[in-house]
């Protein structure tokens, strides 16, 4: 079975909730999915062996959290070129981190990204649950070639 990894940073839990919902959607779509927090990675070794990677962080002070920046430098060494990818994050009004993660995955890592990044103001409101699950399904579709 194809396998996906969702990695997130979060300060107050919103981005963590989105991560779990995306993983659920990936499973609904027919693949295995694991969720991990950025701080669980000391080196790039833990990133090996997945077919899809979805990374997410909230925006604070117009920027992504430092722990996600550190993680992205580590992921740069994991040779993710050609793998399916997506990005996401909770935000309040500007959400810069979400597109920056997407851009790094696409332009630096050379990943095969799903159409867009997933931006959610609050995972509990405005259809956020189904949007996050649908995002996971679209990652699974890309991986399974549907
Ligand atoms: C001190 C502070 C600064 C923030 N700065 C931004 C910002 O620059 N842009 C934005 O879109 N949201 C900003 N937010 C809102 C957070 O991104 C939002 O609350 C998000 O849901 C937090 O996600 P988390 O629970 O995963 O940490 C800020 C929130 C706080 C408390």
Give DSSP secondary structure letters for 92-141.
SS--HHHHHHHHIIIIIS--EE-SS-EEES-TTSTTHHHHHHHHHHHHHH
Segments forming the whole domain that contains residue 26: 3-144
From 92, 95, 97, mutation site for ligand 1 pocket: most ligand atoms within 8 A of C-beta? 92
Six-digit token pair at 71? Answer: 């993680």
Residue ranges around ligand 1 (CB below 6 Å): 10-15, 58-62, 90-95
Residue-by-residue pLDDT tens, the chain, 146 positions: 999 999 999 999 999 999 999 999 999 999 999 999 999 999 999 999 999 999 999 999 999 999 999 999 999 999 999 999 999 999 999 999 999 999 999 999 999 999 999 999 975 666 789 999 999 999 999 999 97
CA distances to 5, 45, 85, 123 from 127, rounded to whole Å, are 23, 36, 23, 8
Q: What is the pTM of this model?
A: 0.97
Query: What would the two tokens of residue 42 be?
Result: 């000391």
Q: What is the CATH number of the domain that holds 80?
A: 3.40.50.360
CB 47 within 8 A of CB 5: yes
**How many domains does the chain fold into?**
1
How many angstroms is it from 92 CA to the middle of ligand 1?
A: 5
112 token code pair = 């095969």
């Amino acid at each position: 079975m194809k396998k996906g990894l969702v990695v997130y940073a979060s300060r107050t839990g919103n981005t963590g909730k989105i991560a779990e919902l995306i993983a659920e959607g990936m499973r609904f779509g027919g693949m295995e999915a694991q969720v991990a927090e950025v701080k669980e990675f000391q080196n790039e070794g833990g990133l090996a062996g997945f077919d899809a990677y979805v990374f997410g962080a909230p925006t604070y002070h117009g920027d992504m959290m430092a722990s996600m920046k550190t993680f992205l430098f580590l992921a740069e060494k994991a040779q993710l070129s050609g793998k399916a990818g997506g990005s996401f994050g909770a935000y309040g009004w500007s959400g810069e981190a979400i597109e920056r993660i997407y851009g790094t995955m696409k332009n630096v890592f050379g990943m095969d990204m799903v159409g867009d990044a997933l931006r959610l103001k609050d995972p509990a409101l405005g259809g956020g649950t189904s949007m996050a699950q649908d995002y996971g399904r679209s990652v699974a579709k890309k991986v399974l070639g549907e």
